[in-house]
Structure 1
Amino acid sequence: MSSSLQIAAAVTDKNLELVLKVLPAMILIMAASWVCGRLALMVKQPRVLGEMVAGVLLGPTLFGAVWPDGQAFVFPPEVKPILYVLSTIGLTLFMFLVGVGFDHSGSTNGKQEAKRAGLLALSGMIPSLLLGGAVGWLLYDHLSRPGVGTVEFVLFIGGALSITAFPMLARILYERNLQNTSLGRMTLLGASFDDAAAWCFLAVISAMHANAGGAAALVTIGLSVAFVAFMLLVARPLLKPLGDRVERTGKFGLDEMYLVLGVVVAAGYFTDYIGIYSVFGGFVAGLAMPKNPAFREAVIQRMMEVVNVLLLPIFFTFSGLNTQLNGLGGWAMIGPFLLILVAGFIGKYFGCGLALRGVGLSWRESLAIGGLMNARGLMILIFVNIGLAQGIINQEVFSMLVLVAVITTALAVPLYRWAMPERLEKEMLVNEGMTGDLDTEADEGRRELAASVG
């Protein structure tokens, strides 16, 4: 009996010791994220850009370089697995909320606008895929991991560069009251197509990598398709009464929250089990949720603040701990980095801009949209973290793509403002009869999502 008590006491002491190591790390993460987020707002950038930078600064690039003993104390090896688990939960919940906010019913007026949104999506993805894939092919012998095939590496680089940060884009448009203009509706719809395609693309790459090709990969891809079909064709109708009840009663209590979170966790577990990462499951679970405005607003309000303030900063820091920008200082790495950055920038900015100019938009409108679509934000960080976790890319490529994410995101708003100065923006709002108010309750849910992300 005494032996059992001693073992229990030892386990308790060990757990307490681990808690006392994790909590200081979380306090520092939240403090750094808050400070950098406020600084980003002061220079008229989205808060999330500051949080991304905070994560990089807490890694070996700054904190580890200036005070290595301090970083080793705050982020010892035994704490990093805890941060990984928390960041994975945060990403799964965040992508769930993005899926919940995915609703474009009534967002386009007429076939011409819808066609332009489709063209915008294609012009944002295909050039980036091709240019990124070409760069990946050129750099494969220098930067690929052992055991990763040429096709996987090429597709991953192209896929990462084809992403647009839909939530951040929505935040920028809502801040400027452009969400219901023809420019805003087209850009939001095109970006949503880009992101949905990118996650499906990543699911296919993950399936290929997890099973090394052949029949096993086809099984994983088939299970992924079956999962999406089940969630959208079976689970979504079953969940519809939940949304109707919340819409009718205005109540979203603990019972509803248990059910919603249960679906998210189950979806994340299944997709992780079949080898395509829990983030994808969270996103599809969000798509399957009811689209009633009251339900969407309740879910977003109850969950988004905790996800943004606590869990996402942990993800940014975990990414930062794996990011070594100091190693990019030599020409051996700076050359490949510049190739990736230029390919990503040209593919999005000029791909979107030239395509839209070709269908009749002005140069200013076309380049303004191209600048916005070039923001990659949090989405590319999720993409590359999955690639790093699954062994598709190494830490050098990961660091390069993190820096691409920061630079292209920082350029988005200045490029938009350069192409569309305030005077022209106001003229556009007047011409389209915008009053400064959101038009529908459905837009309110998306506004809350976008505002929280930014």
Structure 2
Amino acid sequence: MNQIEFALKVFAALAVVLAATTLCGRLAMLVRQPRVVGEMVAGVLLGPALFGAVTPGVQAQLFPADVKDVLYVLSTIGLTFYMFLVGASLDHGLTGGRNMRRASVLAVSGIVPTFLLGAAAGALFFSTLSLDGASRWEFMLFVGGALSITAFPMLARILQERGIANTPIGGLTLVAAAIDDAAAWVILAVIIAVGAAGSPLDALDTVAGAAVFAALMLTVGRRLLGRLGERVEREAGMSRDMMALVLLLVLVAGWFTDYIGVFSVFGGFITGLAMPQSATMRRELETRLTDLNSILLLPVFFAFSGLNTEVSGFGAGGTLWLPLAVIMLVAFAGKYLGCAAVVRLQGYSWRYASAVGGLMNARGLMILVFINIGLAHDMVSDETFAILVAVAIVTTAAAMPIYRASLPGGQDRAGSDVAPTGHVPAPLVPAADPNAP
């Protein structure tokens, strides 16, 4: 096959991916779901679940191994810049005061029970779901870590669009979700490092390298980038050279963290966190990077995830239904009950507690990132991958119905209906999620 023929195959695959994710995203919005839910479903439908089952020959011709390799590279670039935008959009002022203390308690209530239940489920199904030669404790950590994630960027966009980012429910949920995700990435980084090195002791170089990189970027790097932010504010915009410098930093950071054995998304996220808190710079980055990333590159990631989602075990008499039911149950119970109970103990109403539990239960794109990294590092079997994709879709789709049922009629904006007496919500600036509606 010559280069022109190969390029035509890649263009055809991208066209199908773009059409499918756009259509399913619009359909999701029609039923009052975030666009990302439709895009996740589209990715699964392009795989063996539908496209591969109905027309296996066409699917194999459209997505051969070499085209899938290109899709993987494009999706990795998209994920790296997505995590960069997430980090750049975070408000550094969220990490202090009463809001942070309440949110930290809420985050722990979502992480600990979910992680323990997920790890227990991993131990229960280790013999049937893990790869040959896999370590039991690594598999338990992976399942527990994946279920501990909350879709922070998606929640930020939902809360922003509903006008409740500055209410108690917005403050608590946003900061707690950010803490949840940070903890999950640390768990994944350790698992990857140990898996690549063979033992915790051998992984010290990787963990130390990641820690030094993060420390330098968030201290020296942040100060140097602060000067860039001041210049952007003075000039009321970013020049071509400024944007090129930022893109270069993201790519180098992604390359370095991938090279030391973590993953490129970590480099993108840390670089985003190091960006200055410049409103102009934030607007410029989102304006220039969001559309291409969210409309094309991230849908490629959903498609790549779908192509790796093997559904044969879900047929009649399939062996995956029991593990799916158990893992789905612990995923819901750990997040929803843990978060709702703690919010209620903090003095909020049961309706408010239920709404927070529902929002914290959404896992969105973040769990797909988590499990795809695991797949790339041979830490997860096709069966486990398929189960966790289903968990991602169902928990994300359930978030808004639970939220609406808990706080009907705009009670989320009426703080007196849901917040404890005397509580004043902390002002927040949410991160933008390019995959939400």
TM-score class, shorter-chain normalisation, is: over 0.9
1:67 to 30, 55, 64: 55
Residue number in structure 2 paired with 1:420: 407
Mean alpha-carbon deviation: is it higher for 76-85 or for 326-335?
A: 326-335
Residue number in structure 1 paired with 2:220: 234
In structure 1, what is the Cα distance between the partners aligned to 2:165 and 2:180?
A: 18
Q: TM-score, normalised by structure 2?
A: 0.95
Q: Say whether the 8 Å CA contact 2:81–2:293 is kept in structure 1.
A: yes
CA-based RMSD of the aligned residues comes to: 1.8
**Given residue 62 of structure 2, which amino acid in structure 1 is its aligned partner?**
V
Q: Say whether the 8 Å CA contact 2:291–2:434 is kept in structure 1.
A: no
Residue number in structure 1 paired with 2:79: 91
Instruction: Report the 3-state secondary structure (helix = DSSP H, G, I; strand = E; otherwise coil) of the residue aligned with 2:65.
Output: coil
Equivalent pairs, count = 430
Residue number in structure 1 paired with 2:422: none
**Given residue 33 of structure 1, which amino acid in structure 2 is its aligned partner?**
T
Q: Say whether the 8 Å CA contact 1:86–1:311 is kept in structure 2.
A: yes
**1:327 has 2:313 as partner:** yes
| Inter-CA distance 132–431: structure 2 relative to 1 (3 Å threshold) | closer
**1:257 has 2:243 as partner:** yes
Instruction: Report the 3-state secondary structure (helix = DSSP H, G, I; strand = E; otherwise coil) of the residue aligned with 1:283.
Output: helix
Cα offset for 1:429?
8.1
Q: Say whether the 8 Å CA contact 2:340–2:357 is kept in structure 1.
A: yes
In structure 1, what is the Cα distance between the partners aligned to 2:94 and 2:145?
A: 29
Q: Say whether the 8 Å CA contact 1:308–1:453 is kept in structure 2.
A: no
Instruction: Report the 3-state secondary structure (helix = DSSP H, G, I; strand = E; otherwise coil) of the residue aligned with 2:150.
Output: coil
**Given residue 19 of structure 2, which amino acid in structure 1 is its aligned partner?**
A
**1:144 has 2:130 as partner:** yes
Describe how 1:171-190 pairs up with structure 2 within 5 A: 171-190=157-176
Cα offset for 1:114?
2.6
In structure 2, what is the Cα distance between the partners aligned to 1:292 and 1:230?
A: 20
| Inter-CA distance 182–451: structure 2 relative to 1 (3 Å threshold) | farther
In structure 2, list runs of 5 or more residues that go unmatched: 420-425
Residue number in structure 2 paired with 1:53: 41
Q: Say whether the 8 Å CA contact 2:290–2:434 is kept in structure 1.
A: no
**Given residue 218 of structure 1, which amino acid in structure 2 is its aligned partner?**
L
Q: Say whether the 8 Å CA contact 1:372–1:412 is kept in structure 2.
A: yes
In structure 2, what is the Cα distance between the partners aligned to 1:229 and 1:450?
A: 26
In structure 2, what is the Cα distance between the partners aligned to 1:184 and 1:123?
A: 17
Residues 414-452 of structure 1, C-alpha deviations (whole Å, 9 max, x = no match): 0011111125234338999xxxxxx98x83xx46x2365
Residue number in structure 2 paired with 1:225: 211
2:22 to 26, 34, 40: 34
Q: Between Structure 1 and Structure 2, whose CA radius of gyration is higher?
A: 1
**Given residue 379 of structure 1, which amino acid in structure 2 is its aligned partner?**
M
In structure 1, list runs of 5 or more residues that go unmatched: 1-12, 433-438
Q: Say whether the 8 Å CA contact 2:294–2:434 is kept in structure 1.
A: no
Instruction: Report the 3-state secondary structure (helix = DSSP H, G, I; strand = E; otherwise coil) of the residue aligned with 1:184.
Output: helix
Q: TM-score, normalised by structure 1?
A: 0.91
Residue number in structure 2 paired with 1:210: 196
Cα offset for 1:151?
1.2
Residue number in structure 1 paired with 2:395: 408
**1:356 has 2:343 as partner:** yes
Residues 338-390 of structure 1, C-alpha deviations (whole Å, 9 max, x = no match): 11111111000001001111121111101100000000000000000000110
Instruction: Report the 3-state secondary structure (helix = DSSP H, G, I; strand = E; otherwise coil) of the residue aligned with 1:216.
Output: coil
Residue number in structure 2 paired with 1:395: 382
| Inter-CA distance 381–452: structure 2 relative to 1 (3 Å threshold) | closer
Q: What is the aligned-residue identity percentage?
A: 51
**Given residue 15 of structure 1, which amino acid in structure 2 is its aligned partner?**
Q
Residue number in structure 1 paired with 2:433: 450
Instruction: Report the 3-state secondary structure (helix = DSSP H, G, I; strand = E; otherwise coil) of the residue aligned with 1:332.
Output: coil
Describe how 1:343-382 pairs up with structure 2 within 5 A: 343-382=330-369
In structure 2, what is the Cα distance between the partners aligned to 1:239 and 1:357?
A: 42
Describe how 1:124-139 pairs up with structure 2 within 5 A: 124-139=110-125
**1:154 has 2:140 as partner:** yes
Residues 7-35 of structure 1, C-alpha deviations (whole Å, 9 max, x = no match): xxxxxx71111101000100010001110
In structure 2, what is the Cα distance between the partners aligned to 1:231 and 1:23?
A: 37
**Given residue 227 of structure 1, which amino acid in structure 2 is its aligned partner?**
F
Q: Say whether the 8 Å CA contact 1:207–1:275 is kept in structure 2.
A: yes
Q: Say whether the 8 Å CA contact 1:236–1:289 is kept in structure 2.
A: yes
Mean alpha-carbon deviation: is it higher for 306-315 or for 137-146?
A: 137-146
Instruction: Report the 3-state secondary structure (helix = DSSP H, G, I; strand = E; otherwise coil) of the residue aligned with 2:238.
Output: coil
Instruction: Report the 3-state secondary structure (helix = DSSP H, G, I; strand = E; otherwise coil) of the residue aligned with 1:105.
Output: helix
Cα offset for 1:53?
0.6
Structure 1 consecutive aligned stretches of length 4 or more whose deviation exceeds 6 Å: 429-432
In structure 1, what is the Cα distance between the partners aligned to 2:219 and 2:387?
A: 39
In structure 1, what is the Cα distance between the partners aligned to 2:406 and 2:418?
A: 18
| Inter-CA distance 73–419: structure 2 relative to 1 (3 Å threshold) | same
